[in-house]
Protein backbone atom coordinates (compact mmCIF):
# COMPACT_ATOMS: atom_id res chain seq x y z
CA UNK A 1 0.00 0.00 0.00
CA UNK A 2 1.54 3.34 -0.93
CA UNK A 3 0.70 6.70 0.62
CA UNK A 4 -1.95 7.51 -1.97
CA UNK A 5 -4.00 4.62 -0.59
CA UNK A 6 -3.15 5.10 3.08
CA UNK A 7 -5.62 7.95 3.52
CA UNK A 8 -3.08 10.77 2.97
CA UNK A 9 -2.26 12.05 -0.50
CA UNK A 10 1.25 13.27 -1.20
CA UNK A 11 2.79 15.03 -4.16
CA UNK A 12 6.44 15.77 -4.88
CA UNK A 13 7.41 19.31 -5.82
CA UNK A 14 10.69 21.03 -6.70
CA UNK A 15 11.23 24.34 -4.91
CA UNK A 16 14.01 25.48 -7.24
CA UNK A 17 14.73 24.97 -10.94
CA UNK A 18 17.95 23.11 -10.04
CA UNK A 19 16.10 20.56 -7.93
CA UNK A 20 13.62 19.44 -10.61
CA UNK A 21 15.63 16.39 -11.67
CA UNK A 22 16.08 15.32 -8.03
CA UNK A 23 12.33 15.78 -7.47
CA UNK A 24 11.61 13.60 -10.51
CA UNK A 25 13.90 10.89 -9.11
CA UNK A 26 12.15 10.90 -5.71
CA UNK A 27 8.72 10.86 -7.38
CA UNK A 28 9.68 7.79 -9.42
CA UNK A 29 11.27 6.05 -6.48
CA UNK A 30 8.34 6.63 -4.13
CA UNK A 31 5.62 6.22 -6.76
CA UNK A 32 4.22 9.70 -6.11
CA UNK A 33 2.80 12.28 -8.53
CA UNK A 34 4.17 15.75 -9.26
CA UNK A 35 0.71 17.24 -9.75
CA UNK A 36 -2.13 16.61 -7.32
CA UNK A 37 -4.39 19.50 -6.41
CA UNK A 38 -6.07 17.33 -3.74
CA UNK A 39 -2.81 16.39 -1.98
CA UNK A 40 -2.64 16.64 1.82
CA UNK A 41 1.16 16.84 1.87
CA UNK A 42 4.00 17.96 -0.38
CA UNK A 43 7.40 16.32 -0.30
CA UNK A 44 9.44 19.35 -1.26
CA UNK A 45 12.86 19.10 -2.87
CA UNK A 46 15.31 22.00 -2.78
CA UNK A 47 19.05 22.54 -3.01
CA UNK A 48 19.06 22.07 0.80
CA UNK A 49 17.49 18.61 0.62
CA UNK A 50 14.06 17.19 1.38
CA UNK A 51 11.27 18.47 3.58
CA UNK A 52 7.68 17.45 4.17
CA UNK A 53 5.06 20.19 4.19
CA UNK A 54 1.47 19.66 5.23
CA UNK A 55 -0.83 21.59 2.91
CA UNK A 56 -3.71 23.75 4.12
CA UNK A 57 -4.30 27.09 5.80
CA UNK A 58 -3.44 26.14 9.39
CA UNK A 59 -0.66 23.67 8.57
CA UNK A 60 2.54 23.83 10.65
CA UNK A 61 5.86 24.59 8.97
CA UNK A 62 7.86 21.96 7.10
CA UNK A 63 9.65 19.06 8.78
CA UNK A 64 13.10 17.89 7.75
CA UNK A 65 15.86 15.78 9.25
CA UNK A 66 18.86 17.85 10.35
CA UNK A 67 21.69 16.26 12.31
CA UNK A 68 24.06 19.23 11.91
CA UNK A 69 22.17 22.18 13.40
CA UNK A 70 19.19 22.88 15.65
CA UNK A 71 18.02 20.44 18.32
CA UNK A 72 20.31 17.59 17.25
CA UNK A 73 23.39 19.80 17.63
CA UNK A 74 22.20 21.15 20.97
CA UNK A 75 21.54 17.68 22.32
CA UNK A 76 24.88 16.39 21.03
CA UNK A 77 26.78 19.23 22.73
CA UNK A 78 24.71 19.79 25.89
CA UNK A 79 22.42 16.77 26.24
CA UNK A 80 24.22 15.10 29.11
CA UNK A 81 26.35 12.56 27.22
CA UNK A 82 26.37 9.05 28.62
CA UNK A 83 24.43 10.27 31.66
CA UNK A 84 21.25 10.55 29.56
CA UNK A 85 18.49 8.14 30.42
CA UNK A 86 18.47 6.60 26.93
CA UNK A 87 22.19 5.85 27.29
CA UNK A 88 21.58 4.09 30.60
CA UNK A 89 18.60 2.24 29.12
CA UNK A 90 20.61 0.68 26.27
CA UNK A 91 23.41 -0.24 28.66
CA UNK A 92 26.13 2.30 27.85
CA UNK A 93 28.75 2.21 30.61
CA UNK A 94 32.54 2.57 30.84
CA UNK A 95 34.00 0.22 28.23
CA UNK A 96 30.58 -0.77 26.87
CA UNK A 97 29.15 0.65 23.65
CA UNK A 98 26.63 -1.93 22.43
CA UNK A 99 25.63 -2.56 18.82
CA UNK A 100 22.07 -1.20 18.73
CA UNK A 101 19.20 -1.65 16.30
CA UNK A 102 16.63 1.16 16.43
CA UNK A 103 13.63 -0.73 15.04
CA UNK A 104 11.37 2.36 14.84
CA UNK A 105 13.82 5.01 13.67
CA UNK A 106 11.44 7.86 12.75
CA UNK A 107 13.49 11.04 12.37
CA UNK A 108 16.58 9.28 13.71
CA UNK A 109 17.01 11.51 16.77
CA UNK A 110 17.51 8.81 19.38
CA UNK A 111 19.75 6.79 17.04
CA UNK A 112 21.89 9.88 16.43
CA UNK A 113 22.30 10.43 20.18
CA UNK A 114 23.43 6.82 20.66
CA UNK A 115 25.76 7.01 17.63
CA UNK A 116 27.27 10.22 19.02
CA UNK A 117 28.03 8.31 22.24
CA UNK A 118 29.90 5.64 20.27
CA UNK A 119 27.28 2.98 19.52
CA UNK A 120 27.21 1.29 16.13
CA UNK A 121 23.63 1.85 14.97
CA UNK A 122 21.28 0.12 12.54
CA UNK A 123 18.03 1.99 11.87
CA UNK A 124 14.79 0.63 10.41
CA UNK A 125 12.03 2.94 9.18
CA UNK A 126 9.03 1.42 7.43
CA UNK A 127 7.14 4.56 6.34
CA UNK A 128 8.69 5.39 2.93
CA UNK A 129 8.32 9.19 3.20
CA UNK A 130 9.89 9.33 6.65
CA UNK A 131 12.62 6.96 5.46
CA UNK A 132 13.28 9.33 2.53
CA UNK A 133 13.60 12.32 4.90
CA UNK A 134 15.94 10.28 7.10
CA UNK A 135 18.05 9.11 4.15
CA UNK A 136 18.37 12.70 2.97
CA UNK A 137 19.34 13.93 6.46
CA UNK A 138 21.97 11.21 6.80
CA UNK A 139 23.42 12.05 3.36
CA UNK A 140 23.70 15.75 4.24
CA UNK A 141 25.09 15.01 7.70
CA UNK A 142 27.74 12.70 6.29
CA UNK A 143 29.25 15.70 4.42
CA UNK A 144 29.71 17.70 7.64
CA UNK A 145 33.15 17.75 9.28
CA UNK A 146 31.79 17.63 12.83
CA UNK A 147 29.04 15.03 12.53
CA UNK A 148 30.20 13.03 9.50
CA UNK A 149 31.98 10.54 11.74
CA UNK A 150 28.83 10.03 13.82
CA UNK A 151 26.72 9.49 10.69
CA UNK A 152 29.29 6.90 9.64
CA UNK A 153 28.12 4.81 12.63
CA UNK A 154 24.51 4.80 11.35
CA UNK A 155 23.12 2.36 8.75
CA UNK A 156 19.57 2.85 7.43
CA UNK A 157 17.32 -0.04 6.40
CA UNK A 158 13.90 0.63 4.88
CA UNK A 159 11.07 -1.84 5.35
CA UNK A 160 8.90 -3.64 7.85
CA UNK A 161 10.81 -3.98 11.14
CA UNK A 162 9.13 -7.23 12.10
CA UNK A 163 10.00 -8.93 8.79
CA UNK A 164 13.53 -7.51 8.75
CA UNK A 165 14.17 -8.70 12.31
CA UNK A 166 12.74 -12.15 11.64
CA UNK A 167 14.96 -12.50 8.56
CA UNK A 168 18.02 -10.69 9.95
CA UNK A 169 21.22 -11.09 7.95
CA UNK A 170 24.63 -10.95 9.61
CA UNK A 171 25.63 -10.39 13.21
CA UNK A 172 22.58 -9.77 15.42
CA UNK A 173 22.35 -6.54 17.43
CA UNK A 174 23.17 -6.72 21.11
CA UNK A 175 20.41 -4.26 21.98
CA UNK A 176 17.16 -3.48 20.17
CA UNK A 177 15.45 -0.17 20.86
CA UNK A 178 11.73 0.21 20.12
CA UNK A 179 9.68 3.42 20.34
CA UNK A 180 6.24 2.55 18.89
CA UNK A 181 3.80 5.26 17.87
CA UNK A 182 1.40 5.45 20.78
CA UNK A 183 -2.29 6.47 20.53
CA UNK A 184 -2.32 10.14 21.53
CA UNK A 185 -5.16 11.68 23.45
CA UNK A 186 -3.56 15.05 24.17
CA UNK A 187 -4.93 18.29 22.79
CA UNK A 188 -3.42 18.86 19.35
CA UNK A 189 -1.45 21.94 20.43
CA UNK A 190 0.52 19.85 22.91
CA UNK A 191 1.57 17.21 20.44
CA UNK A 192 4.88 17.97 18.73
CA UNK A 193 4.70 19.31 15.19
CA UNK A 194 6.34 16.17 13.81
CA UNK A 195 3.85 13.92 15.57
CA UNK A 196 0.93 15.91 14.21
CA UNK A 197 2.43 15.70 10.75
CA UNK A 198 3.31 12.01 10.82
CA UNK A 199 0.24 10.57 12.53
CA UNK A 200 -1.90 10.71 9.35
CA UNK A 201 0.93 8.95 7.49
CA UNK A 202 1.90 6.38 10.08
CA UNK A 203 -1.11 5.75 12.30
CA UNK A 204 -0.64 3.93 15.60
CA UNK A 205 1.57 0.86 15.93
CA UNK A 206 -1.10 -1.77 16.45
CA UNK A 207 1.52 -4.44 15.79
CA UNK A 208 3.65 -3.41 18.80
CA UNK A 209 3.29 -6.86 20.48
CA UNK A 210 4.66 -8.58 17.35
CA UNK A 211 7.44 -5.96 17.19
CA UNK A 212 8.43 -6.74 20.78
CA UNK A 213 8.31 -10.48 20.14
CA UNK A 214 10.58 -10.20 17.07
CA UNK A 215 12.98 -7.92 18.97
CA UNK A 216 13.22 -10.33 21.91
CA UNK A 217 13.96 -13.19 19.51
CA UNK A 218 16.79 -11.29 17.76
CA UNK A 219 18.57 -9.16 20.39
CA UNK A 220 21.45 -10.97 22.08
CA UNK A 221 21.56 -8.87 25.28
CA UNK A 222 18.49 -6.69 25.84
CA UNK A 223 15.43 -5.00 24.39
CA UNK A 224 14.46 -1.45 25.41
CA UNK A 225 10.96 -0.07 24.79
CA UNK A 226 10.24 3.65 25.15
CA UNK A 227 6.73 4.45 26.39
CA UNK A 228 4.81 7.51 27.56
CA UNK A 229 5.37 7.52 31.34
CA UNK A 230 1.85 6.44 32.31
CA UNK A 231 1.16 4.15 29.34
CA UNK A 232 0.73 0.42 29.87
CA UNK A 233 3.54 -1.97 28.91
CA UNK A 234 3.31 -3.61 25.48
CA UNK A 235 1.26 -6.81 25.63
CA UNK A 236 3.31 -9.97 26.05
CA UNK A 237 6.40 -10.60 28.14
CA UNK A 238 6.65 -8.13 31.03
CA UNK A 239 9.77 -5.96 31.40
CA UNK A 240 12.14 -6.74 34.27
CA UNK A 241 12.39 -3.08 35.26
CA UNK A 242 11.88 0.45 33.96
CA UNK A 243 13.71 3.77 34.03
CA UNK A 244 11.26 6.64 34.58
CA UNK A 245 11.68 10.14 33.18
CA UNK A 246 9.39 13.18 33.37
CA UNK A 247 7.24 12.36 30.37
CA UNK A 248 8.44 8.95 29.22
CA UNK A 249 9.97 5.77 30.55
CA UNK A 250 12.16 2.97 29.25
CA UNK A 251 10.97 -0.60 29.82
CA UNK A 252 13.98 -2.93 29.97
CA UNK A 253 13.89 -6.58 28.90
CA UNK A 254 17.35 -8.01 29.76
CA UNK A 255 18.59 -11.28 28.28
CA UNK A 256 22.30 -11.21 29.10
CA UNK A 257 24.61 -8.77 30.91
CA UNK A 258 26.55 -6.31 28.78
CA UNK A 259 30.21 -6.50 29.79
CA UNK A 260 33.29 -4.45 28.80
Which amino acids are annotated as binding site for S-adenosyl-L-methionine, given as ranges? Answer: 125-126, 179
Rg (CA), the chain: 18
In whole angstroms, what is the distance from residue 185 CA to residue 191 CA? 9
- How many angstroms separate the first and last alpha carbons of the chain? 44
In whole angstroms, what is the distance from residue 173 CA to residue 91 CA? 13
User: Count of CB atoms within 10 A of residue 14's CB?
Assistant: 19
- Cα angle 75, 212, 230 (rounded to 5 degrees) comes to 60
Three-class DSSP category at 10: strand
Residues contributing to the annotated binding site: 125-126, 179
Amino acid sequence: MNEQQAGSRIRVEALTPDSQEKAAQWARRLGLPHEDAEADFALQVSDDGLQLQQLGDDAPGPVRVDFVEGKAAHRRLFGGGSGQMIAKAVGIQPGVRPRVLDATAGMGKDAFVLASLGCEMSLIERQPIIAALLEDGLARGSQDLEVGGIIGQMRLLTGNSIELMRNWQGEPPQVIYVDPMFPHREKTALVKKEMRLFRPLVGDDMDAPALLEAALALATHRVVVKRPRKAPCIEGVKPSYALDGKSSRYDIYPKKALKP
